[in-house]
Amino acid sequence: MNPISLASGVVPEFGPVETVRAAALAGFDAVGLWIEPERWTRATTSETRAALADTGLPVLDVEVIWLKPESDMDDHRRIIDIGAELGAGHVLCVSSDPDPGANAARLHALCRHAEGSAMRVALEFGIFTEVRDLAAARGVIAAVAHRLAAILIDPIHVDRSGSAIADIAALDPALLPYAQFCDARAQRPDPADFAAVITDAIDLREQCGEGALALAAMYEALPAGIALSIELRSRALRDAFPDAGARARVVALATRGWLARHARASRSSPEPLHHG
């Protein structure tokens, strides 16, 4: 079964130490951490490293580097430095810069900065950004032309952007070192309504198998055995489970249940589940 990681967005009101401990309590295989460079201190690094050592959990990714025309690259590089100190495998990037060339240049600089660490620089696309779909992300990463550059797939953004599942399967697997995972309702927000797009992404995601996304097809399009960051931002879960550990446990159980059901269906089906 795929290793699963607790994304920081599942428990956004908690700090990194609480996030690590919630992931461990719930039985996740890894954890993702949110880093705000202006608030992160040497003490934060020390305390987080101690929690990681105590639980034995690796850090799948840190987030978020948000590229903007006025971006302070020093802040972005600091996120990579902190992630490297924590042993993170990836740093998540999104962009609000409409200039593809500027995006590629900045991502290339970040990849160069990550050289020598264990980290890859993963670009996430979505209609809430200026890299709106998979085709746009693929173009930017091709222009970056660096071995550490990667594309991050998130099922809700695949669906909302109208990106083709077949195009995910056609990607070089080396570009997909990990992926996010969740389900979502069938109703799509108006792409012109930014507030509705953000609400959809941060409040309305659903447990795997409880929504309407073509989740099985998206899963089959990903490289086999890929690590999955369970990016289940949900107001309903936050309200129902104010305790970080309890919320993480519910998410882990639902995700592993869906993966197990999918595996059983794959074994019993005479036809492959993957389709475009």
Q: What is the pLDDT of residues 153-186, one digit of tens each?
A: 999 999 999 999 999 999 999 999 999 999 999 9
Burial-class residue 85 by CB neighbours within 10 Å (0-12, 13-18, 19+): middle
Closest CA to 53 of 17, 4, 15, 6: 17
Task: State the DSSP code for 43.
Answer: H
Domain ranges within the chain, ordered by starting residue: 4-268
Mean pLDDT within 212-220: 97
SS3 120: strand
Backbone angles phi, psi at 35, to 5 degrees: -120, 120
Confidence of residue 276 (pLDDT cuts 50, 70, 90): very low
Q: What is the pTM of this model?
A: 0.94
First to last CA, the chain: 23
Q: State the amino acid at position 268 in one-letter form.
A: S
Mind giving me the DSSP string for 58-109? -EEEEEEEEE-TT--HHHHHHHHHHHHHTT-SEEEEEE----HHHHHHHHHH
Closest CA to 30 of 56, 65, 64: 56
Q: What is the pLDDT of residues 107-139, one digit of tens each?
A: 999 999 999 999 999 999 999 999 999 999 999
Closest CA to 34 of 68, 53, 10, 3: 10
Homologous superfamily (CATH) of 4-268 is Divalent-metal-dependent TIM barrel enzymes (3.20.20.150)
Q: What is the pLDDT of residue 274?
A: 41
Q: What is the pLDDT of residue 108?
A: 98
∠ CA 168-171-177 to the nearest 5 degrees? Answer: 90
Mean pLDDT within 191-217: 97
Q: How many CA atoms lie within 13 A of 235 on its CB side?
A: 7
Q: What is the pLDDT of residues 232-273, one digit of tens each?
A: 999 999 999 999 999 999 999 999 999 999 999 988 765 444
